[in-house]
DNA sequence: GATGAATGAGTGTTCATTCAT
DNA sequence: GATGAATGAACACTCATTCAT
């Protein structure tokens, strides 16, 4: 599936690779689509579990820490099981399972919004909830896109740095997280 | 195809809708995949044509104008033939036609980089070429994502505004394009 | 089975409806066909039991009584468990269980032949055994056919009356059983 | 099919034996059931064509001739293509194609009723239409039954003779068709 | 060049049968 | 003995591709 997509997999293949017989497969899933749905559901559950950790990690982190934590979490999420996630992502639109991922994202947005409220004074945020949504969507879109079209980007420090810059710039942070940005470039500063 | 994807289309259907016979189809395309490739190629060509206009439009526009022009161009591009673009986008990874779109994006990146150089003094840009690439990738990712998962976003002024804010913030623009931002919000300002 | 036939029943269904597990089923029957055979055998046994009663009932009945008794018995036989009988009948030819029903019919033929001998003087019967066989076959065919193609006929007095007329005519009875035939019609009389 | 019934035939087998490919089969018939339906329809048409001849043959035939003609026609009908007819007959009830054969029988009943009216004076017939129906059904049932359960009967002179006796007896014919009945037996006479 | 009927490998799914528990 | 999860051969049906006309 990771190589050729969902349509290219035959149920007999799936069964063989899963180490069971087709018959057994159909004892648990009424049809092929249900199989994909179950897979998606499991992925969504795993992601949700990890997002809860992100929320806790954010807590009352400073602006710099928060941005770093958040961006890293987004990248980790994409990296982990990236190939599988990617394969599922491609099939999603046709299978009406978007809500599953929407659910996951909403949970992450809530955690981020909470933190934005904590750091309200240092950030240029009028509507935390909306801003959180925009950020999640942006970062999510960027990592999804990287996942789909430029997988190697997920492991590049440059990509991580730029995601932080994007986030910081959008949040109106006066100074980008110091440690990570190379002094000579001096963007979005002073 | 727009409703059920590429796999769901039979060659006989394609032929009938194209007003020719299957036989004729196979006189011009060796197989079904070549058909998709040709379709993608045509889309890529159309996009390239429009991008040339964007490059001209950018010219020596002011920072505000440039950002507005660029964001609007990205949205227009996605909106136009959005359903078809979307359908193709979904099938892409499996068909090795990524380079086609990469080519289109590279051309757009060049046009943007040129303009960044023109407005170098007012922007926080160390490496125009890299910055252009990051911006193209981000905006592209955001519009692609919207196209795939939240099509209605492409028509919302809010989405356009936030794309400009993202771009402006990343480029270190001190004031976001005035006309479009509502005063009370006062984000990313001094 | 009564609705969709034998082929449509799965062994798991049979087991569930019988209140046992498939495994248990296969402990007693080597395969699905054996199951059908056992069912047919049971039906044949039940019929045989009832036929013995018919033989006794015939005894030394008068011609009219005998015809009435016999026709009614044939109809009762078909009516009782008609749906099940019918379902089995349809599957029969393919399952080589014809002999079962042949056995049942032979027993009935014997009983009828005995009675024909008793009433020999009043009937036009040269070879009681052959005549019995022809009658059994005819009446049996007619009820089977009704069972298969016109089930409602089994309950119509008209059908019963015609069966008697057929039997009486074939046996050369000078007057049809009086009580049942409406005077105005006057068929096969003089 | 003639050996194992319709269910036992795979579409691939049908195609191979028909000298075409499965694909071609499905170009003309939407599914397996439609195939059976078409077969039944063709048989029904062939039978109808032959029945028209029977009607003509009956014409104003004498009682003896009429009975002989009719019985012989019924037997010929069953004998010809008997195996195919038989195979289809077995599958019929489950496929709702009974009406096709009902249509055929109704046509035959009409022809017979016409003749009964012509010979009204010599026969004991109150309602020609009803009597025709009963006769058709009886003879039809007997030949069907023979076809299904005792195919060799269709070729036996004895069976033909008994069918005539049955018909003659039911119609109140004073003398059975002379030529065919052996003098010593003298049934249903005087 | 155009046509579209013919092809048949390959698909998702069923269900009689087995066998470890 | 009883169970029912596991098995996989077999089925109806699809569709990319071919090729005689």
- Tell me if D172 and C187 make a contact (CB, 8 A cut-off): yes
Residue nearest to nucleotide F11 (CA to C1'): D10
Which residue's alpha carbon is at the shortest distance from the C1' of E2? B24
Distances in whole angstroms, Cα of residue C90 to Cα of each of C36, D96, D100: 12, 14, 19
Rounded CA-CA distance C112/C54 in Å is 9
B189 interaction partners in chain A (CB closer than 8 Å): 124, 172
d(C-alpha A77, C-alpha A85), whole Å:
10
- From the number of C-beta atoms within 10 Å of its C-beta (0-12, 13-18, 19+), residue C8 rates as exposed
Strand E at less than 7 A from CB of C11: yes
pLDDT value at position D145?
A: 80
Taking CB atoms and an 8 Å limit, are C186 and D126 in contact across chains? yes
Q: Which of C162, C166, C188 sits opposite D124 (nearest CB)?
A: C188
User: CB–CB of B141 and A142 under 8 A?
Assistant: yes
Q: Are D124 and D67 in contact (CB under 8 A)?
A: no
CA torsion A27-A29-A32-A34 (nearest 10°) is 170
Question: Which residues of chain B fall short of a pLDDT of 70?
Answer: 1-3, 81-83, 86, 89-98, 174-190
Q: Which of B69, B76, B89 is nearest to B50 (CA)?
A: B76
Q: What count of CB pairs under 8 Å joins A to B?
A: 90
Q: How confident is the model at residue D179 (pLDDT cuts 50, 70, 90)?
A: very low
Asked if the Cβ of residue B23 lies within 7 A of any atom of strand E, the reply is yes
Answer for the pair C44, C92: CB distance below 8 angstroms, yes or no: no
* Residues of D with Cβ-Cβ distance to C109 under 8 angstroms: none
B36-185: CATH superfamily: Tetracycline Repressor, domain 2 (1.10.357.10)
Q: Among the residues of chain D, which ranges form H helices?
A: 11-18, 22-28, 32-58, 63-79, 82-91, 98-118, 128-149, 157-171
Indicate yes or no: strand E within 7 A of the C-beta of A32.
Answer: yes
Residue given tokens 């028209």 in the structure block = D52
Decide if C172 and D187 are in contact by the 8 Å CB cutoff.
yes
> Residue A128's closest chain B neighbor by CA?
B185
- For residue A94, the model assigns a pLDDT of 56
Q: CA C167 to CA C143: how far, in whole Å? A: 13
Q: Which residues 32-71 of chain C have a CB under 7 Å from nucleic chain E?
A: 32
pLDDT of residue C97: 65
Domain boundaries, chain B: 1-30, 36-185
Nucleotides of E under 7 A from a protein CB: 1-20
Ordered DSSP codes for D52-86? HHHHHHHTT--HHHHHHHHHHHHHHHHHTTHHHHH
* Cα gap C171→C135, rounded to integer Å: 9
Residue C184: CA atoms inside 13 Å, Cβ hemisphere, count?
Answer: 2
Give the dihedral of Cα atoms C42, C43, C46, C50; nearest 10 deg.
-160
- Partners of B144 on chain A (C-beta within 8 Å) are 141, 145
Contacts of C132 (CB under 8 A, 6+ apart): C109, C110, C112, C113, C116
Q: DSSP assignment of B91-139, as one string?
A: HGGGGT-HHHHHHHHHHHHHHHHHHHHHTGGGS--S-HHHHHHHHHHHH
Tell me the three state secondary structure of residue A100.
Answer: helix
pLDDT at residue B174 in the model:
62
Angle, alpha carbons D176-D179-D184 (nearest 5°)? 75
- Residue-wise DSSP of C75-121: HHHHHTTHHHHHHHHHHGGGGT-HHHHHHHHHHHHHHHHHHHHHTGG
Distance between the two ends of chain A, CA-based, in angstroms? 50
For residue A171, list chain B residues with Cβ-Cβ distance below 8 A. 169
Average pLDDT, chain D: 81
CB D154 within 8 A of CB D82: yes
The C-alpha atoms of residue B1 and residue A35 are separated, in whole angstroms, by 24
Which positions of chain F lie under 7 Å from any protein Cβ? 1-20
Nearest by CB to B142, which of A5, A138, A165? A138
What is the percent of chain A with per-residue pLDDT over 70, rounded to a whole number? 82
Q: Which residue is nearest to nucleotide F8 (CA to C1')?
A: A21
Q: Is the model's pLDDT at D118 over the cut of 90?
A: yes
What sign does the dihedral B131-B132-B137-B143 (CA atoms) show?
positive
Average pLDDT over residues C29-49: 86
pLDDT-derived band at C88 (thresholds 50, 70, 90) equals confident
Does residue D183 register a pLDDT over 60? no
- Classify domain D31-171 at the CATH superfamily level: Tetracycline Repressor, domain 2 (1.10.357.10)
CA of A15 to C1' of F6 (A): 12
Question: Rounded to an integer, what distance in angstroms lies between the CA atom of residue C190 and that of residue D175?
Answer: 13
The pLDDT score that the predictor gives to residue C119 is: 93
Distance from CA of C17 to the nearest CA of D (A): 22
Per-residue pLDDT reduced to its tens digit, A52-91: 888 888 888 999 999 999 999 888 888 876 667 767 766 6
CA atom of B46 to C1′ atom of E10, Å: 37
Integer Cα distance of C61 and B164 in angstroms = 108
CA-to-CA distance for B104 and B96, rounded, in angstroms? 15
Q: Quick one: pLDDT at residue D142? A: 86
Give the CA angle between residues B128, A74, B153 to the nearest 5°: 70
* C1’ E7 / CA D67, Å: 54
**HSE-up of A55 (CA within 13 Å, CB side)?**
17
Which own/partner pairs from A102-105 qualify as long-range (CB within 8 Å, at least 24 positions apart)?
A103/A44, A103/A48, A104/A44, A104/A47, A104/A48, A104/A51, A105/A136, A105/A137, A105/A140
Q: From CA D77, how far away is CA D44, in angstroms rounded?
A: 11
Alpha carbon C167 to chain centroid, angstroms: 15
Query: Which residue of C5, C93, C162 is in closest CB contact with D94?
Result: C5
Cβ contact B101:B88 at 8 Å = no
Half-sphere exposure of D76 (CA within 13 A, CB side): 12
CB contact under 8 A, A94 and B186: no
Q: Residue A43 in 3-state DSSP?
A: helix
Structure tokens at C106: 């032979």
Give the chain D residue nearest C128 (alpha carbons).
Answer: D185
Q: Comparing C-alpha atoms, which of D133, D170, D160, D150 is closest to residue D74?
A: D160
pLDDT < 70 positions in chain A: 1-3, 81-83, 86, 89-98, 174-190
Alpha carbons C175 and C165: distance in angstroms, whole number? 10
Per-residue pLDDT, C87: 73
CATH number (1.10.357.10, 2.60.40.420, 1.20.1560.10, 2.70.98.60) of C32-185 reads 1.10.357.10
CA-to-CA distance for A62 and A69, rounded, in angstroms?
Answer: 10
CA atoms within 13 A of residue C53's CA, in its CB half-sphere: 10
Measure the CA–CA gap between C98 and B59, rounded to whole angstroms.
94
For the record, the structure tokens of D97 come out as 């194609």
Q: Considering only CA atoms, which residue is closest to the C1' of nucleotide E15?
A: C10
φ, ψ of residue D19 in degrees (nearest 5): 80, 20
Check if the beta carbon of residue B108 is closer than 8 Å to that of residue B54: yes
- Find the residue in B nearest to A102 (Cα): B149
Instruction: Answer whether C69's CB lies under 8 Å from C58's CB.
Output: yes
Q: Are B169 and A172 in contact (CB under 8 A)?
A: yes
Exposed e or buried b per residue across C68-102, where buried means at least 16 C-beta atoms within 10 angstroms of its C-beta: bbbbebbbebbeeebeebbbbbbbbbbeebeebbe
**Closest CA–CA distance from residue C145 to any residue of chain D (Å):** 6
CA of B173 to C1' of E16 (A): 74
Name the helix (H) or strand (E) containing A25. Answer: helix A22-28
Contacts across the C-D interface (CB distance below 8 Å) = 89
In C, minimum Cα distance to D97 occurs at C149
Interface test with B, best of A102, A140, A162 (most B CBs within 10 A): A162
Which nucleotide shows the minimum CA-to-C1' distance to residue C9? E15
A187 vs B142, B172, B184: nearest CB = B172
Residue nearest to nucleotide E5 (CA to C1'): D24
CB atoms within 10 A of CB C47: 20
**pLDDT interval class at D72 (50, 70, 90):** very high
Q: How many C-beta atoms surround the C-beta of residue C134 within 10 A? A: 21
Q: Name the nucleotide with the smallest C1'–CA separation from D25.
A: E6
State how far residue D87 is from chain C, nearest Cα, in angstroms: 10
pLDDT of residue A184: 42
Of C94, C149, C170, the CB nearest to D169: C170
Strand F neighbours (CB under 7 Å) are: A 12, 20-24, 26-28; B 8-12, 22-23, 26, 31-32; C 20-24, 26-27; D 9-12, 22-23, 26, 31-32
Q: Which residue of C has its CA nearest to D146?
A: C141
| CA quadruple A116, A119, A120, A125: dihedral sign | negative
Q: Give the least confident one: B135-144, C38-47, C77-86, D145-154.
A: C77-86
Chain D residue at shortest CA distance from C101: D149
């Amino acid at each position: 599936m990771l190589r050729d997509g969902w349509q290219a997999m035959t149920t007999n293949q799936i069964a063989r690779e899963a180490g069971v017989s087709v018959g057994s497969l159909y004892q648990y899933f009424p049809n092929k689509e249900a199989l994909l749905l179950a897979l998606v559901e499991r992925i969504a559950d795993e992601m949700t579990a990890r997002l809860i950790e992100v929320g806790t990690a954010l807590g009352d982190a400073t602006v710099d820490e928060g941005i770093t934590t958040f961006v890293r979490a987004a990248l980790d999420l994409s990296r982990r099981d990236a190939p599988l996630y990617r394969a599922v992502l491609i099939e999603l639109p046709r299978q009406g399972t978007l809500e599953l991922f929407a659910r996951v994202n909403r949970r992450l947005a809530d955690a981020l919004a909470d933190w934005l409220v904590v750091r309200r004074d240092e950030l240029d945020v009028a509507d935390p909830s909306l801003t959180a949504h925009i950020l999640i969507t942006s970062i999510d879109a960027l990592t999804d896109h990287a996942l789909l079209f430029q997988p190697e980007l997920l492991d590049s420090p440059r990509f991580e740095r730029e995601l932080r810059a994007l986030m910081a710039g959008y949040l109106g942070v006066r100074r980008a997280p110091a440690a990570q940005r190379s002094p000579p470039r001096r963007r979005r500063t002073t």
